[in-house]
Amino acid sequence: MQPGDVPATSADTSELHEWVGFKPDTPVEVGVQRFYDWYRAHYRVN
């Protein structure tokens, strides 16, 4: 654990959905892979 890390979270996006109609539905495995691919392309990492 680093300073500022939390041991658990109960993130709730229900207000976001109510306000703007957006509800995230990307599984974490897919999101992490997409971020990894973007990062490598953006920073031109081999």
Residue 28 is predicted with a pLDDT of: 93
| Structure confidence at residue 43 as a pLDDT band (50, 70, 90) | very high
Long-range contacts of range 24-27, CB-CB < 8 Å, 24 or more positions apart? none
21 close to 10: Cβ distance less than 8 angstroms? no
Residue 33 is predicted with a pLDDT of: 98
Taking the C-alpha atoms of residue 32 and residue 27, their distance in angstroms, rounded to an integer, is: 9
The two structure tokens encoding residue 45: 């990492």
Judged against a pLDDT cut of 90, whether residue 44 lies above it is answered with yes
| Structure confidence at residue 41 as a pLDDT band (50, 70, 90) | very high
Long-range contacts of range 35-41, CB-CB < 8 Å, 24 or more positions apart? none
pTM for the model: 0.58
DSSP string covering 15-34, please? HHHHHH-------HHHHHHH
pLDDT in tens, 9-33: 888 989 999 999 999 899 999 999 9
